[in-house]
């Protein structure tokens, strides 16, 4: 995670609430990682995607995705609790 961003430890919405009808917008790129922000109306989340991983080698990182298209990475971030998916507020 880039140094200027911090994690909050509040309870997240469930995965279905996060992906339903929302858009993931590219926030910034730092050290080969793309950061997308997802606003649910209640909270703002951040998803970190390592664009250097093999599976992203031939994939375009668009400025916006329907959040459901990134559900796999969101789920992995929630389950692993590794900081790749965090609640910003």
Predicted confidence pLDDT, tens digits, the chain (89 residues):
554 454 445 688 999 999 999 999 999 999 989 999 999 999 999 999 998 988 888 888 899 999 999 999 999 999 999 999 999 99
Q: Is residue 7 part of a domain?
A: no
**Domain limits for position 30:** 15-87
Q: State pTM to two decimals.
A: 0.84
CA dist 69 and 66 (Å) reads: 6
Is residue 8 one of the residues assigned to a domain?
no
CA 13, CA 33: separation in Å to the nearest integer? 24
Tell me whether residue 76 is in a domain.
Answer: yes
Contacts of 8 (CB under 8 A, 6+ apart): 86, 87, 88, 89
Residue 89 · residue 43 · CB < 8 Å: yes
Give me the pLDDT at residue 55, please: 84
Residue 33 lies in a domain: yes
How many domains, in total, are found in the chain?
1
């Amino acid at each position: 995670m880039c140094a200027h961003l911090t994690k909050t430890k509040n309870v997240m919405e469930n995965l279905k609430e996060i992906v339903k009808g929302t858009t993931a917008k590219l926030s910034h790129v730092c050290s080969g990682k793309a950061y997308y922000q997802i606003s649910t109306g209640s909270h703002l989340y951040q998803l970190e995607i390592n664009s250097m991983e093999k599976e992203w080698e031939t994939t375009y990182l668009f400025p916006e995705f329907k959040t459901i298209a990134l559900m796999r990475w969101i789920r992995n971030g929630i389950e692993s609790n590794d900081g790749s998916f965090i609640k910003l507020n």
